[in-house]
Structure 1
Amino acid sequence: MSASIDHIRNIGIIAHIDAGKTTTTERILYYAGVVHRPGGVDEGTTATDFDEEEAKRGITIYSAAITCHWKGYSINIIDTPGHVDFTAEVERSLRVLDGAVVVFSAMEGVEAQSETVWRQADKYNVPRICFINKMDRIGASFNRTFEEIKRRLRANPVALQIPIGEGSTSTGVSFEGVIDLVKMKSLYYDKGSMGSSFEVREIADEYLEQAQEWRNKMLEAVAELDEKVLEQYYETEDIPEADLLRLLREATLRGDLQPTFCGSSLNFIGVQPVLDAVGEFLPSPLDRPPVEGINPQPKKRGGDAGEPESRATSVDEPVCGLVFKIQTDKHGDLCFIRVYSGQLKSGTRLLNARTGKKELISQLWRVHADAREKVETDSIDAGDIAGVIGPKDAVTGDTLCDIKHPILLESISFPETVISMAVEPESSADRKKLEETLVKLSRQDPTFKAIPNEETGQTIVSGMGELHLEVLRNRMQKEFNLSVRVHKPRVSYRETVSAAVEKRVEFNRPAANGNLYFNVKLRLEPFKGESPISIISKLKPEDLDPGLVKVMMDTLRMGVDGGGQVGFPLMNVQFTVLEAHAREGETNEAAVEAAVSEALHGCIMDAKMQLLEPIMKMEVVTPDEFRGNIQADLSSRNASVLNSEWRGDLCVMEVESPLSQLFGYSTQIRSLSQGRASFSMEPLKYAPAPPSVLKEMIG
């Protein structure tokens, strides 16, 4: 039976790699009764890291959806990766989630990928709560991490808990439990029952002053949200608990505040209060605004396609949902879908608003990571998440909706790929199998691209990093039983233009049934916008038949896929149709396509092309004794150290470096620091490559 919509919580667990996301998820599932014994990341026995690669590497690679129930709430949890190579998993998860739990390590504080996932949550206006984990580790600091959340993320955390002790020493763990600042009680968790049992005590005298100080900060932050409550606070120096919780929830939903908790997931301390907070403070689907989209079809009685549409979270609205993940399965592809409105029913047909085709919803499944259970009611209500079997052409970001009430929701945008390598089958007999495998992998992973090269017989596959491509290669071998030869990874460059160029083409050819004619003038120029390429027309409505305008624009869109002079994708450019002239009886689609293609090619070949290379944002963490060697090595790689600060006794350097200089860097930094330094990186931007790179390419 589906939970009422106001008791559904769709949340993500997001963080930097190794902050403890998956362990926190395991503890949540254990306390909610989904698993009988919590698994361990190091042992490869967690419920959400079910893939063989994840278990072997001890990291999350694929976002895993799982449903649990806690104190009357139905909670759909998505455990997301922390490694930057798999940031697309976070992106597509946050697009469909209503709230998030952001996990921080009390040792490392706010790290590079912490900033990335926080920005992604900002992008989709996802309310969030914070959990400062690993309070029992050497070097853990609640205060430092709390201040870093404020300073580095420009956030407004409000502590609802503080730790009882922190860190550990050679004689044992100093972190004992947590102090609840709302009820002003201490919570001590029983490790023998894996934290299921905990004892509520009065706050010890040694922590009372500190607890009162933190409680006053919390009360002041909340009192400022409401004038009446502020007056009451000035009079009594306190806020009634009901008002306190109400205002905290309202501020969390607006994104003004982030309730903050602390604990140690590994040692079973402080996880249940986070679960309580998910129900108490994070939004239900009803708390989110109606989903916005456009009508992909013209209305019968006038009106244009592209008119705004919206759907409220209600079972009485026409059904619509967004496909946010596709998982290949022996039973058929499993599409993860967030239902925004109406009721999704098995055995029905829905419209794929992107393709205009109908898709069959043959089966609905509740998803528990890699295990699945059939939905008993054969329907999923608005606000919920489920797995669907049946759609054939759906890809990530597609909208499935009521055929009679079409709506196209905003799709999910993904970062540009930064690295590529050539693959080819071991034998020619496997060539078709390789093509089919790459199509399946591309459907599942929107940041994986595969482009065949007819001349060499190789296929160029592109992704987000060396680890990303390595994981995909291993999947080809293990899941699809396909042996491939791989060639050295290479950087995915882009091409742009440094100055405007114009090209006029007059297509005038004799044909079997008469003459063919079309005249077009194009301009290619530098451009910076949301999309890499802009194509616009300056024509007036009376200049050209609308059908021919469509052919012309479609030809341009297909033509730009061919790339620039060297063959790399174009970026930061705009094509403008300046003029177009047709002749009655002589201009048809073939003439338009030929003229536009020639003009497009002419613009590209005449332009002054510039090569762009991916620049990575890095965070390098090292003990001071190795800092000099690491900085010297970074300098030799044309990297720039923008800033450095101290995190305990470790130096944290903020670095920008061309990706082309970073192959094999993980091995190098280990050798320079006796294995004690670490780094993380993410794509930052594309910037002009040295002229020598382009000269070398074109000989």
Structure 2
Amino acid sequence: MNKRQLRNIGIIAHVDAGKTTVSERILYVTGAIHRTGEVHLGNTTMDYDPQERARGITINSAATTVVWCAHQINLIDTPGHIDFNIEVNRSLRVLDGAVVVFDGVAGVEPQTETNWRLADQYGVPRIALINKLDRTGADFARVVAMMAERLGAKPLVMQLPLGQEAEFEGVIDLVSMQALRWPRNGHGQPELTRGGIPEPMLLAAQAAHDALVDSAVEQDDTVLAAYLDGQDVSEAQLRACIRLGTLKQAFVPVFAGSALKNKGVEPLLDAVVDYLPAPEDRAQALGDGDGFAALVFKVVHDEHGALSYLRVYRGQAQAGSMVLNSSTGHKERLSRVVQMHANQREELAHAMAGDIVAVAGLKGSKTGHTLCDPEQPLVLEEIHAPEPVITMAVEPMSREDQASFSKGLHTLVDEDPSLRLSQDNESGQTLLSGVGELQLEVTLEKLRSRFGVTVHTGQPQVALRETVTREASVRYVHKKQSGGPGQFAEVALRIEPLPRGDGLRFANEVTGGAIPREFIPSVEDGVRRAARAGVLAGYPVVDVLVVLEDGSFHDRDSSTLAFELAGSAAFAQAQRDAESVMLEPVMAVQVTTPLDYVGDCIGDLNRRRALVRQQDQVGNAAVIHAMVPLQNLFGYIGSLRALTSGRASYSMQFDHYAEAPRALAAAA
């Protein structure tokens, strides 16, 4: 296959914006399936996990392959819930382009903003679909304005909706200047038809077309010069300019539709082919060589063993070949190569550059590891998982389940890098940490359904941190003499607070050889080891600058160990002198509620130590934006449903750490 005819794309959005419905319609329109599944009926192709079907949300990213206009499209449908954002993160790391789906009523929602920033971070070109335009309160122009205001994007309007809300019947294509409609054919299925633009819409369509042309031609100097000379821009030239601007991320083409009503899917697929990049458009700098190189971006386990998802960046690998895991230094055999269609597999003889495939047989390869030709080793940029903010003690209900409990938890943590396992040093309890209550709840349900283990759980605990509030200096001497060679190290440290989110930084200002250079890293190691458990309650210390100012050494008795111990003790002493405080995670919360319940919702948030930042009205609903300590959000969904007769919903995501009240710090 001509590699120019390959697209690797993801569908990303806030929860309930209609991502999975868009994916199902794409499968149907391309002929991959012959009957569309519905999220509310629990029979979708892409949400195949029993928990996904039961809960009506996407939990795992699912990959499939379709063909449109002679182009192979590798498609990944990602979750919209913040608790499963690692799936979006690792998908965007390996994709070339993305379709961002917006709810035509709600517009830009919190998780959309998070996903947008991730796409910015990985430099992924995007097109946008404003979905659900058939719903009451849908407003295409308002969502376009929100994209510019909240995302800092430059929307390029490609279509105008024909009709509003229940009267939505199709779109006006501003490139071809045609009206696209989807009346039902003789079999009751929608069928795309093209025709003239209705007279009442002609002026608005022409103005929007001119604005589209004005923005697009700026991407090609030759076309721009001809346009300024009064020459017409052909449709082919316009599409080429739009493609250039999309790849450079100068703008984001915006489309309209209602996936549930099968309206807008075909032009969206045309746009994927016309405007989103082929793999070589975003080729990574991999150095010299043409040998195989791929990134493992996901690992799943089933009754047949581990299945590792790969994005191939260079060369090709045959089924049965040996490759090097350059992240670990060990060799692995690719026993089988398969193309995934949700949970179905299609055997392949080999994987080529640009492919997204799954391989069986890898033993020690984890998410973020690089596989490559043993003769041409290289390491690709890893995938970084978010830090957990919530911890729960877990233990099996019966001792007989201990082995399955341990195996199951390690398997699930292997699959989801945003989960962490640890042990409480005092109680010996197993601690499971993650980014949200729902994620932990889903993980324990997987433990029960897949491994047959039911667990006892402790009360969830938030992941607190410690920091300092003022500068402090300390000079510490580590000295030990016991018959043989002694230990000696003297260090002078200064610590001072840093802005929130800056972590722990170490700086060396020693002059004149007061401490030999080979001992400086040991001091830093000691500092970082001590910072893993602060002096207040044993939580990690963050947002602190540690400066090594001075010290001394002994020719015979100084060693790396002595300076590491000195650095550790000096930091602990300095932290006590610098008025340490506890920090707690604060979440950005968005509550959507009928107007009748706004007062009750705000009152409840205030009782949870919330800072209400903003209140908007969208249609007949209110949207409340607030900052709320995670400690006060446990069980919030039940309380919110009770307050609003089940009519309100909320979403939240980690925003920042803030100083905790003294009572919380004292209880920690």
Common fold: TM-score over 0.5: yes
**Equivalent-residue separation in structure 2 for 1:280 and 1:73 (angstroms):** 10
Match of 1:271 in 2: 265
**Equivalent-residue separation in structure 2 for 1:459 and 1:562 (angstroms):** 18
Alpha-carbon contact 2:515-2:550 (below 8 Å) kept:
no
Pairs within 5 Å for 1:352-371: 352-371=325-344
| Residue 140 of structure 2, aligned match among 139, 142, 147 | 142
1:243 aligned to 2:237? yes
| Residue 188 of structure 1, aligned match among 178, 181, 192 | 181
**Equivalent-residue separation in structure 1 for 2:193 and 2:99 (angstroms):** 25
Superposed displacement of residue 232, structure 1 = 3.9
1:632 aligned to 2:625? no
| Residue 172 of structure 2, aligned match among 157, 179, 182 | 179
Alpha-carbon contact 2:511-2:550 (below 8 Å) kept:
no
**Equivalent-residue separation in structure 1 for 2:237 and 2:536 (angstroms):** 64
Match of 2:100 in 1: 102
Q: Give percent identity, aligned residues only.
A: 40
Q: Which moved more, 1:144-153 or 1:54-63?
A: 144-153
1:68 aligned to 2:66? yes
Change (3 A) 1:520 1:56: same
Structure 1 residue ranges without an equivalent (≥5): 169-173, 292-309
Change (3 A) 1:4 1:521: farther
Alpha-carbon contact 2:476-2:566 (below 8 Å) kept:
yes
1:427 aligned to 2:398? yes
| Residue 29 of structure 2, aligned match among 23, 28, 31 | 31
| Residue 506 of structure 1, aligned match among 451, 469, 477 | 477
Pairs within 5 Å for 1:298-309: none
Change (3 A) 1:256 1:680: same
**1:63-91 per-position Cα deviation (integer Å, ceiling 9, x unaligned):** 11222222222211111111111112111
SS across alignment from 1:408: coil
Q: Which moved more, 1:415-424 or 1:58-67?
A: 415-424
Alpha-carbon contact 1:565-1:604 (below 8 Å) kept:
no
Pairs within 5 Å for 1:309-458: 310-311=286-287, 317-376=290-349, 378=350, 380-458=351-429
**Equivalent-residue separation in structure 2 for 1:90 and 1:540 (angstroms):** 47
Q: Which moved more, 1:634-643 or 1:531-540?
A: 531-540
Alpha-carbon contact 1:424-1:457 (below 8 Å) kept:
no
SS across alignment from 2:418: coil
Superposed displacement of residue 330, structure 1 = 2.4
Q: Which moved more, 1:688-697 or 1:81-90?
A: 688-697
Change (3 A) 1:247 1:642: same
Match of 1:21 in 2: 19
Superposed displacement of residue 102, structure 1 = 0.6
**TM-score after normalising by structure 2:** 0.93
Superposed displacement of residue 429, structure 1 = 4.0
Alpha-carbon contact 2:534-2:572 (below 8 Å) kept:
no
| Residue 204 of structure 2, aligned match among 187, 206, 210 | 210
SS across alignment from 1:682: strand
Alpha-carbon contact 1:31-1:196 (below 8 Å) kept:
no
SS across alignment from 2:451: coil
1:678 aligned to 2:649? yes
Q: Which moved more, 1:70-79 or 1:209-218?
A: 209-218
1:15 corresponds to which letter in structure 2? A
SS across alignment from 2:47: coil
1:691 aligned to 2:662? yes
Match of 1:307 in 2: none
1:640 corresponds to which letter in structure 2? L
Structure 2 residue ranges without an equivalent (≥5): none
Alpha-carbon contact 1:311-1:340 (below 8 Å) kept:
no
Alpha-carbon contact 1:621-1:679 (below 8 Å) kept:
yes
1:158 aligned to 2:131? no
Match of 1:223 in 2: 217
Alpha-carbon contact 1:339-1:381 (below 8 Å) kept:
yes
| Residue 249 of structure 2, aligned match among 249, 255, 261 | 255
**1:633-689 per-position Cα deviation (integer Å, ceiling 9, x unaligned):** 222222122222222232222211112222222222223223333222111111111
Match of 1:55 in 2: 53
**Equivalent-residue separation in structure 2 for 1:526 and 1:354 (angstroms):** 35
1:459 corresponds to which letter in structure 2? T
Superposed displacement of residue 407, structure 1 = 2.6
Superposed displacement of residue 553, structure 1 = 4.5
1:406 corresponds to which letter in structure 2? P
**Equivalent-residue separation in structure 2 for 1:541 and 1:99 (angstroms):** 53
1:202 corresponds to which letter in structure 2? G
**1:390-422 per-position Cα deviation (integer Å, ceiling 9, x unaligned):** 333332222223334333332223332222221
Change (3 A) 1:137 1:529: closer
Match of 2:462 in 1: 491
SS across alignment from 1:179: strand
Q: Which moved more, 1:525-534 or 1:672-681?
A: 525-534
Question: When the two structures are aligned, how many residues end up with a matched partner?
Answer: 667
**Equivalent-residue separation in structure 1 for 2:263 and 2:190 (angstroms):** 9
SS across alignment from 1:266: helix
Match of 2:445 in 1: 474
Q: Which moved more, 1:397-406 or 1:17-26?
A: 397-406
SS across alignment from 1:610: strand
**Equivalent-residue separation in structure 1 for 2:401 and 2:577 (angstroms):** 41
Change (3 A) 1:584 1:195: farther
Alpha-carbon contact 1:9-1:279 (below 8 Å) kept:
yes
Match of 1:171 in 2: none
Alpha-carbon contact 2:137-2:618 (below 8 Å) kept:
no
Superposed displacement of residue 355, structure 1 = 3.2
**Equivalent-residue separation in structure 2 for 1:532 and 1:372 (angstroms):** 43
**1:309-342 per-position Cα deviation (integer Å, ceiling 9, x unaligned):** x448xxx623322222121222222222222222
